């Protein structure tokens, strides 16, 4: 019963932390990440410091950092599917090794047509994850924003873009012949057809 929970321990790496954040979603329960995995950007407590840190929590010696989630609404004909992410949503070619064709609108305004290996829509938390590897900016979590980063774009003018957190981003795939792979936080996968539209907002 989430209503009875004061806080949660995520024992593992950042993948464990991301899974737990999506499960909790809007329950407003703090997570303390204990680093047992390969990467530990989110899970900041080490195993040797665990009991010292828990003692600090008991006496109220801690800070709570607010982190934004983003929500994707995948519209397939008359059906829609929703996913949330703490880090990012990634679009890539489903089965071929060709470039992905995506068109991006922000608040109804056309931003650009990207020919690239893929497209990443990330939160400030996710700005230090895959988006960073693709040349995206590092954005502090206190900046209310969403980051749009193409991966290996086939043009000199495709650059990462930071938009306000209140934005509604629409991704479509005009000119795309193959299926599209959609991934939430590197963990949840969907295969989309080229007629699909995806709307992304802060959750």
Question: Which tokens go with 153?
Answer: 């774009």
pLDDT value for 41: 80
Query: Rounded to an integer, what is the distance from CA 88 to the centroid of its chain?
Result: 2
Q: What is the mean pLDDT of residues 133-157?
A: 92
Provide the mean pLDDT of the chain.
91
- Active-site residue among 6, 14, 178, 185? 14
Phi, psi of 131 (to 5 degrees): -55, -40
Q: What count of other Cβ atoms lies within 10 Å of the Cβ of residue 58?
A: 9
pLDDT value for 157: 75
pLDDT value for 76: 82
Please tell me what DSSP assigns to residue 185. Answer: T
pTM of this structure = 0.90
pLDDT value for 171: 97
Catalytic residue status for 14: yes
pLDDT value for 166: 97
Question: Contact, 120 vs 146, CB < 8 A?
Answer: no
SS3 of residue 169 by DSSP: strand
Question: Contact, 24 vs 31, CB < 8 A?
Answer: yes
SS3 of residue 71 by DSSP: strand
Q: What is the mean pLDDT of residues 23-37?
A: 87
pLDDT value for 108: 96
pLDDT value for 39: 63
Per-residue pLDDT tens for 164-202? 999 999 999 987 778 999 999 999 999 999 999 999 999
Question: Contact, 80 vs 73, CB < 8 A?
Answer: yes
pLDDT value for 89: 98
Question: Which tokens go with 146?
Answer: 């969403």
């Amino acid at each position: 019963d989430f209503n009875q929970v004061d806080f949660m321990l995520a024992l593992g790496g950042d993948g464990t932390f991301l899974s737990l954040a999506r499960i909790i979603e809007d329950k407003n329960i703090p997570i303390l990440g204990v680093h047992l995995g390969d990467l530990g950007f989110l899970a900041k407590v080490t195993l040797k410091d665990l009991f010292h840190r828990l003692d600090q929590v008991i006496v109220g010696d801690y800070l709570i950092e607010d982190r934004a989630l983003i929500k994707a609404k995948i519209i397939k004909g008359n059906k829609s599917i929703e996913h949330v992410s703490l880090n990012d949503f990634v679009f890539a070619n489903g089965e071929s090794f060709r470039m992905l064709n995506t068109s991006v609108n922000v608040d109804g305004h056309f931003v650009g047509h990207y020919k690239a290996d893929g497209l990443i829509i990330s939160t400030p938390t996710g700005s230090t994850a895959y988006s960073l590897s693709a040349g995206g900016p590092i954005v502090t979590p206190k900046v209310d924003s969403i980051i749009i980063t193409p991966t290996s774009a086939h043009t000199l003018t495709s650059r990462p873009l930071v938009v306000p957190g209140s934005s509604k981003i629409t991704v479509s795939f005009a000119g795309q012949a193959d299926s599209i792979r959609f991934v939430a936080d590197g963990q949840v996968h969907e295969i989309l057809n080229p007629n699909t539209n995806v709307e992304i907002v802060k959750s």
